[in-house]
Amino acid sequence: MAVLDKNKKIAVVTGAGGTLCSAMALALAQQGIAVALLGRDLGKLEDVREKILLNEGFAIAISTDVTSEREVLAANDLILRQMGVPSILINGAGGNQAAAVTDFTTYEPEELTEETERTRGFLNMDLKVFESVLQTNTMGTVIPCQIFGKEMAKKGGGAIINIASMNSFRPLSRVGAYGMAKAGIANFTQWLASYLAPANIRVNAIAPGFFVNDRSRRILFTEDGSYSERGNSILRQTPLKRFGDASELIGCMNWLVSEENAGFVTGTVIPVDGGFLANSGI
């Protein structure tokens, strides 16, 4: 088992069991950075940790609900005891819920009735589910920023990367709650960058376009592996005519965490989207 070198940089990655953030965690570890893997599913975190250890890296896995201040504080205490003070924070925990996605792209009279199969619109949506999506994606970023940001400020600096979305720039059909949350992440990133600048903490965000993961696969593809209607719609708007791969986020991440290469970069929200935002569709 690898032993932590006290001179190593330390990174915290939330949502580290997911497709995108597990790739980011592995990439950080490959550069000799010790990584604390946070997320709800300990099994998935342990899988990522094993991959890091097999490559002689160092990582710990901590089951954490990042919307719980108590749980994030407990994770912070464990990281401080076992690793030290982090200088990098990647806020990747988040996502959507099926029950917060409308069946329609615009209003339909059916949604004036109680929700039944394929009649979920905004007007009959369970607002507790809507609120849950907001909570996960917004407070699930705010709480780690405050708790780990405090440690960075004590140490004298650091770098925070939040995970935004195409929804941060423009509303996408059917995902009102998720879009509202991710628009908030972009605004919060800019605000926090200005606020924490005197503490020598840079805050930026990466806005992935459409990447394939376990959740999106069901939306982008049909059971026979062909593109779904929504998948085809996205590709029509994406100049590179394909979905992204998690590995294609790593270059942007590496640049943003590097003081040498991005020391004067803060408050940015950078699309990695295959040109999606550049295409008006006209």
pLDDT digits (tens, 9 = 90+) for 37-78: 999 999 999 999 999 999 999 999 999 999 999 999 999 999
| Residue the block writes with tokens 């507790």 | 128
Is 178 an annotated catalytic residue? Answer: yes
In this structure, what token pair is assigned to residue 161? 């990367």
The DSSP 8-state label assigned to residue 115 in this structure reads P
The DSSP H or E segment spanning 246 is none
The one-letter amino acid at 244: G
pLDDT (tens digit per residue) in 156-206: 999 999 999 999 999 999 999 999 999 999 999 999 999 999 999 999 999
Q: What is the pTM of this model?
A: 0.94
Confidence of residue 234 (pLDDT cuts 50, 70, 90): very high
34 forms bridges with which residues in the sheet?
A: 10
Can you list the pairs that 53-58 forms with residues at least 24 positions away whose Cβ atoms lie under 8 Å?
53/1, 53/2, 55/26, 55/29, 55/30, 56/2, 57/2, 57/29, 57/30, 57/32, 58/2, 58/3, 58/4, 58/5, 58/8, 58/29, 58/34, 58/83
Q: How confident is the model at residue 225 (pLDDT cuts 50, 70, 90)?
A: confident
Neighbours of 241 (CB within 10 A): 10
Q: How distant is the alpha carbon of residue 109 from its chain centre?
A: 35
